[in-house]
Chains A and B, each alone.
Chain A
Amino acid sequence: MSDQKPIIRTDAPAPEGFEGEGFFATKLSSVIGMARKFSLWPLPFATSCCGIEFMATLNPTYDASRFGMERNSFSPRQADMLMVCGTISKKLGPVLKEVYTQMAEPKWVVAVGACASSGGIFDSYSVLQGIDKIIPVDVYVPGCPPRPEQIIEGVMQVQALAESESIRRRDSAEYQHLLDSYNISNEEK
């Protein structure tokens, strides 16, 4: 358990600020964080069994749209969160990288399932042993397949990250260095 794990608050507290009659003043980054947090649009990159559990998360029993994920965008240009559910083989690796590069900042990546996190039970010549070999990952959701409740916890961790992230993070040198280590360039595509 690393101490960098974002803290999930389920009581939706108001951000710190100064309050008076008819107004509430707070930092811009808190407001933007709140807005981003409650309107994450996922791109379901569902390849195999975890994809069916993801479909179960979207459907009424575990309803993901109460977290703001009402519109699953299959177009990378309009998505915030890339949820990679299922095994990624080496043949599909370039496709995944292309999809990731086409997404606009800010973007988060969730590796759902054991296969996406580390190759899972398929220790073979044709399976990519974890998508963090080709793209940077923010949240790993282990399980084979993870229960919908675990997928929701993963989403809530992304929400905690989105809320607390500095709005200058995507321009910082450290982030650029991270992308360079994966040979992903941030130029206009």
Chain B
Amino acid sequence: MIEDQLSLIDYQLYIMKDNSLSNILNQHESNEQIDGQLYTLNLGPTHPATHGIFQNVLTMDGERILHAEQTVGYIHRAFEKISERRNYSQITTLTDRMNYCSAPINNLGWHMTVEKLLGIKVPKRVDYMRVILMELARIGDHLICNGVTGMDAGAITGLTYMFIERERIYDMYEQICGARMTTNMGRIGGFERDFTPKFHELLKDFLKTFPARFKEFGQLLERNRIFMDRTIGAGAISAERALSYGFTGPNLRATGVDYDVRVAEPYSSYEDFDFIIPVGTSGDTYDRFMVRQQEIWESLKIIEQAYNNLPEGPFHADVPDFYLPEKADVYTKMEALIYHFKIVMGETDVPKGEVYHAVEGGNGELGFYLVSDGGRTPYRLHFRRPCFIYYQAYPEMITGAVISDAIVTMCSMNIIAGELDA
């Protein structure tokens, strides 16, 4: 009994003192009352619970984690270097593969960045269409994250049911752009085609039937005693530390800070819609789960408002310099042929300058910093990836916790390996 109490006090000392491994080992060796050796556990890089490729070497005392040493970069694909050799339309396919669970948000955010650089103003209908697709993508992303949090706490049923809903979202993406997951959606200046009649049917059906099924999923986990015991208090972080680390998105909102790029700097007509920003209090896993649950409800509200008020009009901006003309025109009209040739060969004039544009991705503020020197490819393109920035805080969040808390924390942070390494 005494040993247990002493161990508990020492663990608290570990958390309060400097976290570097050498300090921990020094403290440990000088204290004879804690018997037993430190244990090194290698979590990853290929581990079923990590949903991605990153490695954590944990130094543990029994089941308590004292220190975590992280290694990332196992899926570094050199996006930033590749994007210096691809023209502006080709980079859309790269942005898909960053946060692949919500690819449309990345694509449309990139198009908005290029439109800001070129000074293109898109019609209102395009804005509303973009909002509908981005919110569908956000729903898809949060469904995976929450389903997987449930799965790693032991409840696999939620994930299997929510994947069926993701299939319905994929069907809707297919109507727009032809692909399920890595969508390459939209064009600079708008979309390649208007919403097809089938898309309207699928969306109406989704809006009618998804809420009931999602409510079932909520009833499975939200007030579930076992789930709450597993997740409340696990991986907590305070708002000051979160802001110092650069957290954004649901992870930051779970700590109580209500920052959302859609409200702070509205893009794509988000100021027309009425929605709340859900916040948590303690920044632990349960708060992150509940913030994402509520955000799905808010996204549904936004989609309904956007769909009911969808304005008529063209589905792309009138920029013949950057938006490919109709193929029928290319075969018959001279100007269309010339524009087609110039766009595909990349000989249109792009202004020099630098622009930074941020959108609210599934994980937080996804920023694109684009430096153009007038050529057909960017001079420098840097992605501000939220996963990379908040994953640094993971060791601080799990020090002193047991390994099962560490697993649940990692899943609820929604770390997507593609976005982490880019």
Bind each other? yes
Interface residues of A in 139-166 (CB under 8 A from B): 144-145, 147
Question: Residues of A within 8 Å of B, CB-based: how many?
Answer: 30
**Could you say which residues of chain B place their CB within 8 Å of the CB of A87?**
75, 77
Tell me the complex Cα distance, A68–B47, Å.
22
Query: Does the CB pair B46–A95 fall under 8 Å?
Result: yes
**Could you say which residues of chain A place their CB within 8 Å of the CB of B78?**
122, 124-127
Which of A12-20, A22-30, A56-64, A167-175 lies at the interface?
A: A56-64
**Could you say which residues of chain A place their CB within 8 Å of the CB of B180?**
53, 145, 147
Which of A1-9, A31-39, A43-51 lies at the interface?
A: A43-51
Tell me the complex Cα distance, A103–B164, Å.
33
Query: Does the CB pair A99–B46 fall under 8 Å?
Result: yes
Query: Does the CB pair B77–A126 fall under 8 Å?
Result: yes
Tell me the complex Cα distance, A147–B159, Å.
20
Instruction: Given A124-B77, A126-B77, answer yes or no on A92-B53 (Cβ-Cβ < 8 Å).
Output: yes
Give which listed residue, B47, B100, B164, contacts A48 with CB less than 8 A: B100
**Could you say which residues of chain A place their CB within 8 Å of the CB of B418?**
48-49
A138 CB to closest chain B CB (Å) equals: 20
Give which listed residue, B53, B76, B161, B167, contacts A56 with CB less than 8 A: B167
Interface residues of A in 112-139 (CB under 8 A from B): 121-127
Which one of A48, A53, A87, A123 has the greatest number of beta carbons of chain B within 10 Å?
A: A48
Which one of B81, B159, B180 has the greatest number of beta carbons of chain A within 10 Å?
A: B180
Interface residues of B in 65-116 (CB under 8 A from A): 73-78, 81-82, 93-94, 96-97, 100-101
**Could you say which residues of chain A place their CB within 8 Å of the CB of B145?**
none
Q: Does B163 contact A (CB under 8 A)?
A: yes
Chain B interface residues (CB < 8 Å from chain A): 45-48, 52-53, 73-78, 81-82, 93-94, 96-97, 100-101, 144, 159-161, 163-164, 166-167, 180-182, 417-418
Of the A-B pairs whose beta carbons lie under 8 Å apart in the complex, a sample of 19, sorted by A's number, is A45-B46, A47-B75, A47-B417, A49-B97, A49-B181, A49-B182, A52-B101, A59-B163, A60-B164, A61-B163, A74-B47, A87-B75, A92-B74, A124-B81, A125-B78, A125-B81, A126-B77, A127-B77, A145-B180
Chain A interface residues (CB < 8 Å from chain B): 45, 47-49, 52-53, 55-56, 59-61, 72, 74, 86-87, 89, 91-92, 95, 99, 121-127, 144-145, 147
